[in-house]
Amino acid sequence: MITDLPVAIVTLGCAKNLVDSEAMVALLRAAGADLVSEPEDAEVIIVNTCAFIEAAKREAIETILDMADFKADKCRFLVAAGCLSQRYAREIAAELPEVDAIVGTGSYYQITDVLERLSAGEAAEEPLIVVGSRENAIRHLDVARQPDTSGYAYIKIAEGCSSACAYCAIPGIRGRLRSRPIEALVSEARRLIAGGYGELVLIAQETTDYGRDLYGRPRLPDLLRALAALPGDFALRLMYCCSDGLTDELLEVMTTETKILPYLDVPIQHASPRILKAMRRRDNPQRLREVLAEWRARIPNLTLRTTVMLGFPGETETDFAELMDFIAELRFDHLGTFTFCPEEGTPAATMPDQVDPEVAAERERRVIELQQDIVRSRWPEIIGSERRVLIEGIDEEGLFYLGHSEEQAPEVDPGVAVLCEQETEPGEQATEPKVGKWYNVRIIAADFAEWTGVTIAEQ
């Protein structure tokens, strides 16, 4: 029995992993477990790992070893879950004897059973390995979970990916695309809205591919319409869009449904046609120019975010110059970078002409410098303007409310620190901002890390 068993979950990696952890919390809580926030208070510690790149694998192993230190005190069982476990179950069992159970991405839904088995002594001699079919990787998602985030919540609309990018290990870890039914997502959104979450962030490996497996064609526009039709004061944000999914139908939905934020995250990875072909990406720079120009014309206040990779095998200075020119031309509002990491089992890992990591790092530095120039040039129009800001909480000193604006995705973009002094008319009393509510905020300062503003009124 796991009734009243103190359990802590440590989450590594992306927002999709966070949703998986939230679902495990809901499953364990329903079984009677006592979820605690600090590992030192737990008898069971679950590390939900990432294994997307080498740095993530190192962090996962280091975290597992750090958590193993608690076994000298209160902790009885250590569980490694998630991507690292799915990919390297046997290696974990052989090389990390501190681990009592190994749970893959297709077995999250079995987490209560795993803890029951541990409590019954099944891991006395060797660790439990519960790495089931990745076809089951969405079974755990329909529980009524309580998000760890404040003010906003993620909704994972699909799992896995059916693309075959040459550098990416995700399809091998998470499996092919598996979309959740529209009805299930609407029910989840309804619960979250009722719980006071003012922004729902839709995530998947490729959100624009949503529904292709389940309905025979992509149905993201239909999902957005269904979600936008729900009553309540909330907004919808799209992350992880592929450029070939930016269809006329999706554009029409974005322009007509006012609950959908004018924000688009389109990870292009590169802008050299030669490198994109080697990456096995479906993107085409010229088509992307045309599509984004049309979207910006139809949605004048559209915010664009992208991600690019430096140092892919065979990337020359000419290829890099094409990328720099593309960034300078498109002037993305937000841009993330990472350098190529050869992932075992992927075609790119054994491609010729591997780029020296120092060269890749220098190219990354130059991209960041260019993007900072673009961002800095926008500050004069931002400072003094009014922005809609979602409140997430208050800082430790009690000086600022913390949140993010419509043009800032939580966690990955700069946020907004809002002064706790609301501007009022003489004789009026200021009302304190509430978590999960949108407010009109006048921006009084901006830098790369965050903006600073003063509340004007609830939106």
DSSP conformation letters of 341-368: ---TTSGGGG-SSPPPHHHHHHHHHHHH
Judgement on whether residues 354 and 397 belong to the same structural domain of the protein: no
Answer with the one of 380, 407, 429 that is the final residue of a domain. 380
Answer with the one of 380, 415, 440 that is the final residue of a domain. 380
Rounded to two decimals, the pTM is: 0.95
Q: Which residues contact 370 (CB under 8 A, 6 or more apart)?
A: 324, 327, 328
The answer to whether the CB of 303 falls within 8 A of the CB of 407 is yes
Total domains in the fold of the chain: 3
The answer to whether the CB of 201 falls within 8 A of the CB of 409 is yes
d(CA 40, CA 77): 12
The answer to whether the CB of 236 falls within 8 A of the CB of 200 is yes
Judgement on whether residues 194 and 49 belong to the same structural domain of the protein: no
Judgement on whether residues 249 and 394 belong to the same structural domain of the protein: no
- For the record, the structure tokens of 343 come out as 């992932």
Residue 1 belongs to some domain of the structure: no
User: What CATH number is given to the structural domain containing 318?
Assistant: 3.80.30.20
pLDDT in the model for residue 429:
57
**pLDDT tens, position by position, 4-60:** 999 999 999 999 999 999 999 999 999 999 999 999 999 999 999 999 888 999 999
The answer to whether the CB of 390 falls within 8 A of the CB of 198 is yes
- For the record, the structure tokens of 85 come out as 């476990």
The answer to whether the CB of 306 falls within 8 A of the CB of 266 is yes
pLDDT in the model for residue 431:
67
Residue 82 belongs to some domain of the structure: yes
pLDDT digit string (tens) for the chain, length 459 residues: 799 999 999 999 999 999 999 999 999 999 999 999 999 999 999 999 999 888 999 999 999 999 999 999 999 999 999 999 999 999 999 999 999 999 999 999 999 999 999 999 987 789 999 998 877 889 999 899 999 999 999 999 999 999 999 999 999 899 999 999 999 999 999 999 999 999 999 999 999 999 999 999 999 999 999 999 999 999 999 999 999 999 999 999 999 999 999 999 999 999 999 999 999 999 889 999 999 999 999 999 999 999 999 999 999 999 999 999 999 999 999 999 999 999 999 999 999 999 999 999 999 999 999 999 999 999 999 999 999 999 999 998 888 999 999 999 999 999 999 997 655 555 565 568 899 999 999 999 999 999 999 987 776
**pLDDT tens, position by position, 366-382:** 999 999 999 999 999 99
Judgement on whether residues 42 and 127 belong to the same structural domain of the protein: yes
pLDDT in the model for residue 378:
98
d(CA 209, CA 45): 35
Judgement on whether residues 376 and 394 belong to the same structural domain of the protein: no
Residue 144 belongs to some domain of the structure: no
Judgement on whether residues 74 and 202 belong to the same structural domain of the protein: no
Residues in the chain: 459
- For the record, the structure tokens of 213 come out as 């497996």
Residue 140 belongs to some domain of the structure: no
Q: Specify burial of residue 380 (Cβ count, 10 A radius: 0-12, 13-18, 19+).
A: exposed
pLDDT in the model for residue 411:
97
Which is nearest to 157 in space by CA: 107, 106, 216, 223?
223
Judgement on whether residues 123 and 232 belong to the same structural domain of the protein: no
The answer to whether the CB of 441 falls within 8 A of the CB of 386 is yes
**pLDDT tens, position by position, 392-443:** 999 988 889 999 999 999 999 999 999 976 555 555 655 688 999 999 999 9
Which is nearest to 100 in space by CA: 59, 28, 45?
45
Judgement on whether residues 376 and 444 belong to the same structural domain of the protein: no
Answer with the one of 380, 398, 416 that is the final residue of a domain. 380
Judgement on whether residues 203 and 127 belong to the same structural domain of the protein: no
- For the record, the structure tokens of 201 come out as 């962030």
Neighbours of 417 (CB within 10 A): 20
Residue 306 belongs to some domain of the structure: yes
- For the record, the structure tokens of 271 come out as 């802008």
Residue 368 belongs to some domain of the structure: yes
Residue 205 belongs to some domain of the structure: yes
pLDDT in the model for residue 178:
96
User: What CATH number is given to the structural domain containing 115?
Assistant: 3.40.50.12160
DSSP label at residue 195: T
Judgement on whether residues 454 and 315 belong to the same structural domain of the protein: no
Q: Which residues contact 182 (CB under 8 A, 6 or more apart)?
A: 211, 219, 222, 223, 226
Judgement on whether residues 86 and 220 belong to the same structural domain of the protein: no
d(CA 236, CA 224): 8
User: What CATH number is given to the structural domain containing 403?
Assistant: 2.40.50.140
Q: Which domain holds residue 438?
A: 386-458
pLDDT in the model for residue 132:
80
Residue 85 belongs to some domain of the structure: yes
To which residue do tokens 């089931």 refer?
132
Judgement on whether residues 369 and 393 belong to the same structural domain of the protein: no
d(CA 435, CA 389): 11
